[in-house]
Structure 1
Amino acid sequence: MKRGIAFLSLALASPALAAPVAIGFAPPTGQDLLYRIEQHRPVDGRDSLFRADRVLRFEKVGDGYILHVTLRSLDSDAPGAGADAYRAALSPLIGVEHRFRLDAHGKIVSLDNIDDVRAAMEKALNAMVAKAPEGSAGQRTAKNVLTLLDGLTPEGRLALLSGEVQPLLLFVDSEVDDARPRGVRTMAGPPLGRAVAVEGDSVLAAHDGNRLTLQEDLQGEGAHVAMRYIVSAQTGLVDAQERTLTLGAQTLTEKRSLTAAGK
């Protein structure tokens, strides 16, 4: 009954949310965008920050686009091995441009310079293995990433390398409707622990011009995920995202933002 009252209250408070809303795909081209990911999670009993900044630029090519992505910086105040492993996993990508090819519907279909990206990563990782103290967290992580790259299929490598930008394209070329919540099923867990299946609903909570606010509440075995997205119905991109993941007694919070570079 309470859930029914909540939905009725939302409908009365937001009469404009009365029809399906189409989300297109028309990303801004020829300008640099800053994509920032900030994550807080417990490491050795204390809350720790992990932050990464990437510069993105869309280029129109034929019927699709090239998405240029370069990791600009990363930082963490996690103690000891927590920060070492984070830096070892991502620092080989700093300054290495990725050129993802997208089709007209916003799907990432390839990484045009995957050989150059892989060569740059392997060079940096091998140097890290050689220089890091034997058995250190940084050395172990570098070895693990090298092993992972060798064992993945081409499709798996593309999924790994595009994993951090895929959330920007989550709602591209789709439709949302406040009258019909969409069922969501996914996996949640790492880096807090083993992956757990979670499911629930995605609802359109607000619609202000081209700005859409979508919310998800997902549950699983010992897990709860709350998501909030700010999506542009015009560009199709997720301009902001907030996530709170609770797994057992541990909680991770994350914020992602897409803004014009320099702002």
Structure 2
Amino acid sequence: MRSRALALPMAAVLALSACTGALSDTGSLLGRDTLRIGVKADQPGLGLRGPSGEFTGFDVDVALDIAERLGVEPADVEFVEVTSAEREEALREGRVDMVVATYSITPARKTEVTFAGPYYVAHQDILVRADERSIDDVRDLAGRRLCQGEGSNSATRVIGERGVAARLIEAPTYSECVTMLEEGEVDAVSTDDLILAGFLLRSRDAFRIVNAPFTDEKYGVGVAEGDLSGCEAVNRAITDMYQDGTAEALLRMWFGDTGLDLVTSVPQFEGCS
């Protein structure tokens, strides 16, 4: 494992608040001296922007590790905040070179983005208030107010795929969903367990995770559509990250106290296509 990895959460890497511009002439993220990487800014434990503009979290550390394995030093990485709804657009417009932002690989998204990875396989679960005892399974969401972050697929997993008649409420981000949950405006938030675990760590007394996972969510690294060489290089970086122990160390550092069953072996890749 690289000695740098465990120091990554202390790194202060400033965001580009208004970065625009196209990709390089090659159309690939390979051979660059700098990289612009899209990350979340409001997800504790994954991608969170601090008061002075620095980003921290598992996704941030994964992004920095991949960049270094591609030959780009942490000081030459600039992070750009992206929401779930704007990840494809940010890549398409060249505002970012890649996206590492709890970006689940789906057939629909693969028509717009080339995905490397996954770098982790999460599982959709349910977050409720700590005193809520009537929701213990996805079926218990029938008739309940379920919050989803805009641009997410989580409600589709519940309502469309499992036929559970939850009452969908959308918010711009999952952090706003969690605020609505705490204030009693919704009954549950359902999304990937790593996302929920981050919010749980921030407010242990306010919430609980139902711990009844019901999907596999393959977190991919989004690169520009058609950048196969860049995708393949990122896959090699992810493999090395797992084989040298960096991935396990980062997972345990960020989520070791959550009780989640963390998977520390190399995920099965989707293939660059």
TM-score (norm 1): 0.24
- Greater fraction helix: 2
Larger Cα-atom Rg: 1
Q: Which has the higher contact order (CA 8 A, sep 6+)?
A: 2
